[in-house]
Amino acid sequence: MQNYFDLTGKVALITGGSRGLGREMALAFADAGADIIISSRKLASCEEVALEVRGMGRRALAVASHAGKWDENDRLVEAAYREFGHVDILVNNAGMSPAVPSPEVSEVLFDKVIALNFKGPFRLSSLVGPRMMTAGGGSIINISSGASFKPMPQVVAYAGAKAALNAMTVSLAQEFGPLVRVNAISAGPFLTDISKAWSEEARRTANNAAGRPGRPDEIVTTALYLASPASSYVSGAIVRCDGGLR
């Protein structure tokens, strides 16, 4: 039977790829045959994941880049194409979700949240998408959040940015189609580094059908599905991977 998750010969660029869900996706894509570009603000952390990828027999490039800054996204794309010549999979994973009462949100914090969760993915997609079209195809995956469907208090800017990301996903699917597919994963609570600040109960239970937060590796099959030929007829979709959030 055909291996629908085969990514042999593909190159994947993952922002926020040095830890959490980004790291899990980077290693899963490498295991499926892809070469990987790992990007985050800390080069040493990117290099650690790149070393793991190389240990799997794949090529890897570590790039220090702030995903919320326009010019750094430009440099990231140039570095990726200079090293590999093509990018077949783009995962806009970097994000931040500070819980702050709305009256206490400064303009600086508001702009940072919007930049990292929406402006950055827009810029990267706008740079990579047309090159994917010229090359004959590709897949863009935006990591969204259940907060975009069910906004909660104290994360208004984050929820708004992720809702904008969902709208961008649908719009760019139309703009870059039919050769390039653009989809989003609406992620629920996952036990990544951020969960260290949660209460013990929050780490054990969740208000979803699964009754618990997800393990970071549980993002993998959804990401592989959207990155690979398995989802060849899926574009403009917001796929929920949240344990059935209520």
The whole-angstrom separation of Cα 222 and Cα 234 is 12
Answer whether 145's CB lies under 8 Å from 231's CB. no
- Marked catalytic residue, from 18, 162, 186, 228: 162
225 labelled catalytic: no
The whole-angstrom separation of Cα 48 and Cα 181 is 30
Torsion angles phi and psi, residue 8, rounded to 5: -55, 130
144 labelled catalytic: yes
Answer whether 63's CB lies under 8 Å from 79's CB. yes
| 127-130 CB contacts, 8 Å cutoff, 24+ apart | 127/73, 127/74, 127/77, 128/13, 128/77, 128/87, 128/90, 129/90, 129/172, 129/175, 129/176, 129/180, 129/182, 130/176
The whole-angstrom separation of Cα 184 and Cα 34 is 20
| Residues facing 142 on adjacent strands | 92, 184
- Marked catalytic residue, from 158, 225, 228, 235: 158
- Marked catalytic residue, from 65, 125, 139, 144: 144
Answer whether 53's CB lies under 8 Å from 38's CB. yes
In the DSSP assignment, the letter for residue 170 is H
Residues 6+ apart with CB under 8 A from 178: 235
Tell me which residues are annotated as active site: 144, 158, 162
